Structure 1
């Protein structure tokens, strides 16, 4: 709790974007960010965390845009047709941002904490990096990342070449990595109804 209370004011030069543009096939094609979790849409938890860190917050979604707009933030869709994975959402975020940096997070991690997200931004600045992503102690989590907004052209070219691996693109740039092995719960998510029910029961 003390870590949360230490968070300063939102950063005016940072745009936060919740990535909610996937198909969620293992959720029966339900839009994952809108699935109820403890009485609220899953995406609402990520939005709450981003709102305490970033001066501007957006939602990246390709379906049910009007429903997402009811959560109180502008909605942007992927630039291309179809579902091209999280990189398409990252590219949409970079193109929509009017700030030097963008913080992206997935819509399905209800345990997000703003203090931990702030660590990504602070580390990027401290290491003069172009991108900063998270490591949970076991693996890299490239969909939790702070990116320089001027990387949009690089990402577009990477995707035009047929590549879709987020980690592969990130490693083409000056990449900082934050060790979150002290807070692995940040990355707890749910990809199936059963996982979502188990997570809700565990928290309760």
Structure 2
């Protein structure tokens, strides 16, 4: 089913094991961008090791949730095979990832929304579980990956209880996920700079360096 969208961070380094069973979460896969760095191509459908990037991520995410949401603004029929539900931006000028996040928060089935981009095929389930575990340990606060000194705001867990706050930020003109989340005092899940799991394959050159099928 397709739905249309209606200060400093707190750093905590954590590698501790889960202290309680992880709760169910909804997952949002962001695939709604314009793909400028890919020459306008739909990144989620680019080939990665013999299959679309979205298929690789679907294989990772499917065991983790019964509510897999994909934000996409084109090729919905193809993306539907990999999602429980789709959302698209009401504004057709590609307003950015916060549009997809607010749309997913409005329909999420569970108390947490795990967010990730479609061009990170080297992600591992362990890292995603660590994000969710950290969110459980810090109730009510978003958790965001920090790679070295740099925040990765599109790899995060957002408590769904904050949907109204992010919607208000959007209505006030905010379009940056990081700035929209800042008032909620996000917690950092610290990763080393250059962590290969976080590789963002957002240009043809990066994709072709580790993907012999790119461009075919």
Report the TM-score, using the length of structure 2 for normalisation.
0.82
Task: Within 5 Å, give how 1:109-188 maps onto structure 2.
Answer: 109-181=120-192, 184-188=195-199
Change (3 A) 1:53 1:161: same
Question: Match for residue 14 of structure 2?
Answer: none
Question: Match for residue 195 of structure 1?
Answer: 206
Which 4+ residue blocks in structure 1 deviate beyond 6 angstroms? none
Instruction: Note if contact 2:149-2:193 (Cα within 8 Å) is conserved in structure 1.
Output: no
Q: Provide structure 1 residue ranges, at least 5 long, that are not aligned to the other structure.
A: 1-5
Task: Within 5 Å, give how 1:37-76 maps onto structure 2.
Answer: 37-71=48-82, 73-76=84-87
C-alpha deviations, 1:90-140, integer Å up to 9, x for none? 111101201111101000001010110010110011122421110111300
SS at match of 2:210: helix
- TM-superposed CA distance for 1:11, in Å, is 5.9
- TM-superposed CA distance for 1:176, in Å, is 1.2
* Count of aligned pairs between the two proteins: 194
Matched, 1:98 2:98: no
Q: Provide structure 2 residue ranges, at least 5 long, that are not aligned to the other structure.
A: 1-16
Instruction: Note if contact 2:27-2:115 (Cα within 8 Å) is conserved in structure 1.
Output: yes
Alignment partners' CA distance in 2, 1:184 and 1:45:
19
C-alpha deviations, 1:131-157, integer Å up to 9, x for none? 111011130001001111122211111
Say what the alpha-carbon RMSD is for the aligned residues: 2.2
- TM-superposed CA distance for 1:81, in Å, is 3.4
Instruction: Note if contact 1:15-1:54 (Cα within 8 Å) is conserved in structure 2.
Output: yes
Question: Match for residue 3 of structure 2?
Answer: none
Question: Match for residue 3 of structure 1?
Answer: none
Moved more, 148-157 or 42-51: 42-51
